[in-house]
Amino acid sequence: MTVNSIAQFAPRAHTAATRPQQEAAPGPALPQEKYDVVAQSVSLVTPMELTDMAFKLPSPASRIDAVKEVLTVQDAWDMGITGKGVGVAVIDTGVYPHPDLGDRLVAFKDYVNGRDGVDNAYDDNGHGSHCAGLVGGDGSKADGRFKGPAFEASIIGVKVLDGVGGGQMSNVVKGIQWAIKHKDDYNIRVMSLSLGAGSNLKEDDDIVAQAIQAALDADIVPVVAAGNSGPAKFTIGTPGISSAALTVGAYDDKNTADHGDDTMAFFSSRGPTTRDKNVKPDIAAPGVQMVSFRSPGSSIDHADVTKLGAYYVLLSGTSMATPVTAGVVALVRQANPELSARQVMDILKETADPMADTKAILAGHGLVDPAAAVRKALSLKEQKPAA
């Protein structure tokens, strides 16, 4: 399968590094024949003309707390909804046991090197850890800043990509199947997949899209990155092509809380899907210059990316927008555990904040709105007739 995304360290994965990206990318390249799926980030070798479209920061410390200041998540927290008790499977490059997770990394499965178990948890790339923090970091090493939406959720790390961010479709399918099998062990109600590859197949013929459908059928909400192959249309990768996926595009907040200057990120993949012509993405979330976990000794940690102290790094991509959305899904699932996965997905779409003058093939239903989604979930709980 041909990969259509941009790699973190070669022209192929999908997390966007947040430095002037014209420098040569460090680390090993991803040989085309070795990998058929990659992490969804924008690479260090993004063309200059695209790099110039991203906002620049005077210093890393000047980055706003985008999850809290751009989204309505504080209102959800004020309702007592923090993701507590909900399990989120981060299917990615692994998860480093960052201090901001405390004891909430509750399981770790490794399909790359076989180092299973929380005591062996690691991330030799750094991408999966960054995503885990955007789901549920508690900001303890940043004086409470840079929390994920679901900062009391449980994190389940499933490593299916290697140290340079590439992997095999078969391992991604295994990772999804493992999460389904163990959903009751860890109350896995959400999975976050910031990975993908190009697909010329109909979703019914795509093995990863089929696995995503199985997850939804098992009452797990699959949140999937759209990819970073924009601004062209028909660039949604698999498994984001799946109609069973909540496919996420990256929103550019321009480092302000004011939505008036916001746009979709230039790199965010556009729909519709190539073969089925489905409108994708479904929703958007902040995905540019996002602050989250730094994984010591990882490939990203050694790369020329913007770091914020000893514990955080700034990255961009639909990879970052996806776990933010997965964290919001965890809030909704805590707010009303009786809702099905399909109902939860519908709520996020229905309550999203539409983006003016932005086509659905760019932003789907609009910017995710945590407070509105939680309120809707709670209202449905209140309307349920007594037994």
For the chain, give every domain's residue range. Answer: 16-42+59-383
Q: Distance (Å, rounded) from C-alpha 135 to C-alpha 148?
A: 5
CB atoms within 10 A of CB 178: 19
Catalytic residue among 129, 194, 299, 319: 319
Helix/strand/coil for 283: strand
Catalytic residue among 36, 92, 138, 282: 92
319 is known as an active-site residue: yes
Burial class of residue 259 (count of CB atoms within 10 Å of its CB; 0-12, 13-18, 19+): middle
Q: Distance (Å, rounded) from C-alpha 156 to C-alpha 111?
A: 14
DSSP state of 383: H
> Per the omega criterion (within 30 degrees of 0), is the bond before 239 cis?
yes
- In tens digits, the chain (387 residues) has pLDDT values of 322 222 232 223 445 433 322 222 233 333 434 667 777 655 333 333 334 445 677 788 899 999 999 999 999 999 999 999 999 999 999 999 999 999 999 999 999 999 999 999 999 999 999 999 999 999 999 999 999 999 999 999 999 999 999 999 999 999 999 999 999 999 999 999 999 998 888 999 999 999 999 999 999 999 999 999 999 999 999 999 999 999 999 999 999 999 988 999 999 999 999 999 999 999 999 999 999 999 999 999 999 889 999 999 999 999 999 999 999 999 999 999 999 999 999 999 999 999 877 777 788 999 999 999 999 999 998 786 655
Mutual angle of helices 370-383 and 341-351, in 10-degree steps: 130
Mark out the alpha helices in 182-266 (DSSP H runs).
183-186, 207-217
127 is known as an active-site residue: yes
Burial class of residue 31 (count of CB atoms within 10 Å of its CB; 0-12, 13-18, 19+): exposed
243 is known as an active-site residue: no
- The dihedral over CA atoms of 320, 322, 323, 324, expressed in degrees to the nearest 10, equals 80
The yes or no reply on domain 16-42+59-383 and CATH 3.40.50.200 is yes
Catalytic residue among 127, 206, 252, 292: 127
Burial class of residue 380 (count of CB atoms within 10 Å of its CB; 0-12, 13-18, 19+): middle
